[in-house]
Structure 1
Amino acid sequence: MSPHTHIKRHLEGAFLFAVLLNFKHIYLYIAPAYGVYLLRSYCITGNNPDGSIRWRSFSILRFISLALIVCLVFAVSYGPFACMGQIPQVLSRLFPFKRGLCHAYWAPNFWALYNVMDKALSVIGVKLQLLDPTSVSAGSMTGGLVQEFQHRVLPSVSPMAALICTFISILPSVFCLWIKQQGPRGFLRCLVLCALSSFMFGWHVHEKAVLLAILPLSMLSVSSAKDAGIYLVLATAGHFSLLPLLFTAPELPIKIFLLMMFTVFSASSLKALYRKEGPLLNWLETLYLYGLVPLEIFCEIAYPLTPWLERLPFIPLLLTSVYCALGVGYAWLRLYIAVFTESAAVKKNQ
Structure 2
Amino acid sequence: MKKIIGILAFSFLIKSLLFWGYLSTDFEVHRNWMAITYNLPLSKWYYEATSIWTMDYPPVFAYFEKMLSAIASFFDKKMLEISSAGYISTNTIAYQRATVIFSELILAYSVYIYSKPRTLLSGLILLNPGLIFVDHIHFQYNGVMIGMLILSIYFMNKEKYIESSIIFTILLLMKHIFLYFAPAYFLFLLKHYCFKPYFQPSKIIKLGISVLATSAVILFPFMQHLPQILSRLFPFGRGLTHAYWAPNIYSLYNTFDAVLNIIVNKKLKTEYMQGLVQVCNHAVLFNITPMISFILLGIGLFFVGKYIWKYSGEKDFCISACICCLTFFMFGWHVHEKAILMVSLPIILISKDYPKYAFLLNFFGNFSLFPLIFTPLEEPFLLISFLLFTISFTLLLDISALLRYEKIYLYFSSIIYFIYLFFNKITKNDSYIPLLSMSIYCGIGISYIYFSLLKSLLSQKNKKD
Mark yes or no: TM-score above 0.5.
yes
Equivalent of 2:448 in 317, 323, 330: 330
> Structure 1 unaligned runs (5+)?
47-56, 128-132
Cα 1:139–1:253, aligned 2, differ >3 Å: closer, same or farther? same
Q: Please show how residues 222-233 of structure 1 align to structure 2 within 5 Å.
A: 222-223=352-353, 227-233=354-360
Shift of 1:6: 9.7
Identity %: 36
> Structure 2 unaligned runs (5+)?
1-155
Whole-angstrom distance in 1 between the partners of 2:365 and 2:297: 19
Is 1:118 matched up with 2:257?
yes
Cα 1:181–1:142, aligned 2, differ >3 Å: closer, same or farther? closer
Cα 1:177–1:311, aligned 2, differ >3 Å: closer, same or farther? closer
Equivalent of 1:62 in 199, 203, 212: 203
Which residue number in structure 2 is paired with residue 157 of structure 1?
Answer: 288
Cα 1:97–1:337, aligned 2, differ >3 Å: closer, same or farther? same
CA-to-aligned-CA distance 1:241-270 (integer Å, 9 cap, x gap): 011111110000001000000000101221
Is 1:194 matched up with 2:314?
no
Q: CA RMSD in A?
A: 2.3
Letter in 2 for 1:176: Y
Which residue number in structure 1 is paired with residue 420 of structure 2?
Answer: 299
Cα 1:105–1:345, aligned 2, differ >3 Å: closer, same or farther? closer
Which residue number in structure 2 is paired with residue 78 of structure 1?
Answer: 219
CA-to-aligned-CA distance 1:305-330 (integer Å, 9 cap, x gap): 43xx2696111011101110001001
Which residue number in structure 2 is paired with residue 50 of structure 1?
Answer: none
Equivalent of 1:39 in 168, 178, 190: 190
Letter in 2 for 1:106: W
TM-score (norm 2): 0.63
Do the aligned residues in 2 keep the contact of 1:7 with 1:42 (CA within 8 Å)? no
Shift of 1:89: 2.5
Cα 1:8–1:126, aligned 2, differ >3 Å: closer, same or farther? closer
Whole-angstrom distance in 2 between the partners of 1:194 and 1:15: 19
Q: Please show how residues 281-292 of structure 1 align to structure 2 within 5 Å.
A: 281-292=402-413
Do the aligned residues in 1 keep the contact of 2:423 with 2:431 (CA within 8 Å)? no
Shift of 1:138: 4.3
CA-to-aligned-CA distance 1:99-132 (integer Å, 9 cap, x gap): 11111111101111111111111221124xxxxx
Which residue number in structure 2 is paired with residue 316 of structure 1?
Answer: 434
Cα 1:290–1:126, aligned 2, differ >3 Å: closer, same or farther? same
CA-to-aligned-CA distance 1:17-52 (integer Å, 9 cap, x gap): 101111011110011111111121111121xxxxxx
Which residue number in structure 2 is paired with residue 211 of structure 1?
Answer: 341
Structure with the greater relative contact order (CA < 8 A, sep ≥ 6): 1 or 2? 1
SS of the residue 2:283 aligns to: coil
Which residue number in structure 2 is paired with residue 182 of structure 1?
Answer: 313
Shift of 1:75: 2.2
Which residue number in structure 1 is paired with residue 74 of structure 2?
Answer: none
Letter in 1 for 2:202: L
Cα 1:158–1:7, aligned 2, differ >3 Å: closer, same or farther? same
Whole-angstrom distance in 1 between the partners of 2:202 and 2:169: 19
CA-to-aligned-CA distance 1:206-256 (integer Å, 9 cap, x gap): 111111111222122212xxx211222111011000111111100000010
Do the aligned residues in 2 keep the contact of 1:110 with 1:200 (CA within 8 Å)? yes
Shift of 1:88: 2.6
Which residue number in structure 2 is paired with residue 22 of structure 1?
Answer: 173
Do the aligned residues in 2 keep the contact of 1:97 with 1:159 (CA within 8 Å)? no
Cα 1:40–1:217, aligned 2, differ >3 Å: closer, same or farther? same
Give the number of equivalent residue pairs: 308
Shift of 1:95: 1.8
Shift of 1:12: 0.7
Whole-angstrom distance in 1 between the partners of 2:218 and 2:244: 31
Whole-angstrom distance in 1 between the partners of 2:414 and 2:259: 25
Whole-angstrom distance in 1 between the partners of 2:376 and 2:410: 24
Equivalent of 2:397 in 270, 282, 292: 270
Cα 1:285–1:45, aligned 2, differ >3 Å: closer, same or farther? same
CA-to-aligned-CA distance 1:179-224 (integer Å, 9 cap, x gap): 3551212x2221111111100111111111111111222122212x
Shift of 1:153: 1.6
SS of the residue 1:97 aligns to: coil
